[in-house]
Structure 1
């Protein structure tokens, strides 16, 4: 990454997730010698977008997002489309974008990478959400969005439990969300194709492939290919979920083996896909629900929507990784 003379750096941090003293000491240790560092804490009313947007307007040369997936998402939305790179110091439960981009999860290593790494252009995803009242809102995400078990998990997981046990906090919420069968009635439109009406349990669309633990939920997804990848899950009972879990387990093992082979990271061969899973890919995906459904964007609840359209914005986010 090119470092200009007297670079300006803004650290947008979530005080509920980050040990500020440790973060300050690490930044002081690894920051460029002539850097001017400004600090901006997130709040409930200002979760990071306004702070990062102000930094870009004031001429920041680097914005560091220090916090969980919500903080990273807000900073990413603010800096996207600019030439200002975003660095990540992951301090949340999932840390999904950091994991998918190979960014260290330890604070010291992540801060060092923020000032010593190179930047990479990746895609960002836009979501246009329509609510029962007819109100429309726009937002975005960098990793994954979903309805069904995905959104139910987010809605049922308490922050206090996440702080105590980390990713294990999601386990009870997942188990509670697995019931209900294929109760989501939805019309799915891919690019310019006419909608197809179906019933499903969970629908996840993403820009990256892996869940926590390196599980490739969307094995063909790449953060910089200009394509949205999605998976539709139709599971009625324990046997259906076992088939889905088996497929993901096989893909995870194969991916780990491939990563150890010479020649880098070849494409992961995918295990046999059960009939309960359907993969989709395109530049625009629209979901129209028979009844409003809860939606999550990179782990943040977006409320219950009547419809949502996802678009990919290729090469709009510069990330130090």
Structure 2
């Protein structure tokens, strides 16, 4: 009987083996259709761009313009914009100074806007006013010279052409420089006189003594007291616009015999000394107009200020001063003192004019200058 069912038993065993093998193979063999079923939509073509291109935003520079120093402002803006784009920067932020706000407000606006660089297009006064907001920060300052002297740019060996100067600002290296801080006015408030036997002085205390509020200004190039400030104040603006820096020579010739004043000077912790003087110049750097050097050892990043106290007697007394400047000698005539310091206090016997970086601030009888080392970042050439 078994032999009758043997073919069916063999056939059933074969079928069972094929079913079991199919199940096993389905679990072991890869599913070639799975990638097709799991395929994601094709990414946008922007997904294949370099990672740096996606994550790096376009940098922006703010350009603060003194409109009194620039003619044809429209074409100048176009040149600046073209230079920014050519160097991979975005559309610049343009801000203009005014008589009421010569730069600090515009600099603060640029910083709040989140720019990567603040540039000035103007003279040393514009640079000073803008820099006063950037002192103590990491925001770099680019200098586009457009003034008469451009002394800071000259001391930093920056180009004076617009495109060349802007290219340095956009692609140059950061350099930390010192800043001078000038305080105009007494260090301590005036005290009331003590009451006398008759009580008169005591009654005067009911009316406070009026004393000028001390003012603090920054300077990047030089601050001056006396004759040099009088020269700045006496320079004809129309002549300066026509002939440039030689206009200062005309004003200087008129003030060579300016009145002397008595000055008391204290340098750092040294004992104070007294002189009869015609001017006191306190410098953060030493190069003047026309290639002249007043302070040969002065550097913008040496952590010191240099001071020159000139006390010539009459026209003949200026000869050794002029010789010293022309020969770039640090030591000179006895009527010319040169001091290197971190702080200097100058008290004069009568009000004299005071200037910082060419801007006349008025008259004063006491000033104190201190250095703030490496407190400002400026863009300079990489070479």
TM-score, structure 2 normalization: 0.75
| Range with greater deviation from structure 2 (18-27 or 272-281) | 18-27
Among 270, 282, 298, the alignment partner of 1:221 is: 298
Within 5 A, what are the aligned runs for 1:254-265?
Answer: none
Kept in 2, the 8 Å contact 1:203–1:231? The answer is yes
| Range with greater deviation from structure 2 (97-106 or 130-139) | 130-139
Q: Is residue 367 of structure 2 the alignment partner of residue 308 of structure 1?
A: yes
Among 215, 226, 241, the alignment partner of 1:163 is: 241
Number of the residue aligned with 2:79: 26
Within 5 A, what are the aligned runs for 1:1-40?
Answer: 5-19=57-71, 20-31=73-84, 32-40=87-95
Report which structure shows greater RCO (CA 8 Å, sep ≥6): 1
Number of the residue aligned with 1:292: 351
Number of the residue aligned with 2:230: 152
1 CA distance for matches of 2:98 and 2:294? 32
Deviation at 1:188, TM superposition (A): 0.5
Kept in 2, the 8 Å contact 1:250–1:271? The answer is no
Number of the residue aligned with 2:149: 94
| Range with greater deviation from structure 2 (36-45 or 194-203) | 194-203
Kept in 2, the 8 Å contact 1:296–1:302? The answer is yes
User: Which is richer in strand?
Assistant: 1
Cα distance change of structure 1 residues 272 and 186 upon mapping to structure 2, 3 Å threshold: closer
2 CA distance for matches of 1:205 and 1:299? 13
What number of residue pairs does the alignment pair up? 299
| Residue aligned with 2:128, SS | helix
- Bigger Rg, structure 1 or 2: 2
| Residue aligned with 2:317, SS | helix
2 CA distance for matches of 1:140 and 1:316? 11
Q: Is residue 314 of structure 2 the alignment partner of residue 237 of structure 1?
A: yes
TM-score, structure 1 normalization: 0.89
1 CA distance for matches of 2:76 and 2:379? 17
2 CA distance for matches of 1:302 and 1:284? 20
Kept in 1, the 8 Å contact 2:227–2:258? The answer is no
Kept in 2, the 8 Å contact 1:30–1:115? The answer is no
1 CA distance for matches of 2:89 and 2:319? 55
RMSD (Å) for aligned C-alpha atoms:
1.6
Cα distance change of structure 1 residues 34 and 242 upon mapping to structure 2, 3 Å threshold: closer
Deviation at 1:184, TM superposition (A): 1.7
Among 243, 248, 259, the alignment partner of 2:325 is: 248
2 CA distance for matches of 1:71 and 1:34? 24
Among 195, 215, 218, the alignment partner of 1:140 is: 218
| Residue aligned with 2:369, SS | strand
Cα distance change of structure 1 residues 27 and 176 upon mapping to structure 2, 3 Å threshold: same
